[in-house]
Amino acid sequence: MAITLDTTTSTITIDGTGSSQGTVRFYENTGNGTNFVGLAAPASVTTNVTFTLPAADGSSGQVLQTNGSGALSFAQGGITTGKSIAMAYIFGL
């Protein structure tokens, strides 16, 4: 496993190994324990993708959504119409 910091592109690269993908871990305050929140790459990726986080926090009940090109934004979560509920039931969503 290798970690590379490229200051010209402001990029940190965490390489995977033959048996595990690269993972970033954010640990809690050491006074509270040793738990963490982690983000890991999939074991196999067909193309490069960078997810860009929104500039601000969303509102209560909102979820992250993608535009299909990696830009993330907050949108209202859940199903709100009868037609959507029927489609969710049919397709097991």
Q: Which domain holds residue 85?
A: 49-93
14 and 30, same domain (yes or no) = yes
Q: Rounded to the nearest 10 degrees, how much is the dihedral formed by the CA atoms of 57, 12, 38, 28? A: -80
User: What pLDDT shows up at residue 81?
Assistant: 54
What's the pLDDT at 91? 60
Is pLDDT at 24 greater than 80 in this prediction? yes
Residues 39 and 53 occupy one common structural domain = no
> Looking at the structure, do residues 73 and 90 belong to the same domain, yes or no?
yes
In this structure, are 6 and 38 located in the same domain? yes
Residues 1, 43 within the same domain: yes
If asked whether residues 90 and 59 sit together in one domain, one would say yes
Do 38 and 65 lie in a common domain?
A: no
CA distance 68 to 4: 28
C-alpha triplet 30, 34, 35: angle, nearest 5°: 120
3-class secondary structure per residue, 27-60 = ECCHHHCCCEEEEECCCCCCCCCCCECCCCCCCC
Per the structure, the count of domains in the chain is 2
What does the pLDDT read at residue 90? 61
Provide the 8-state DSSP code for 61.
T
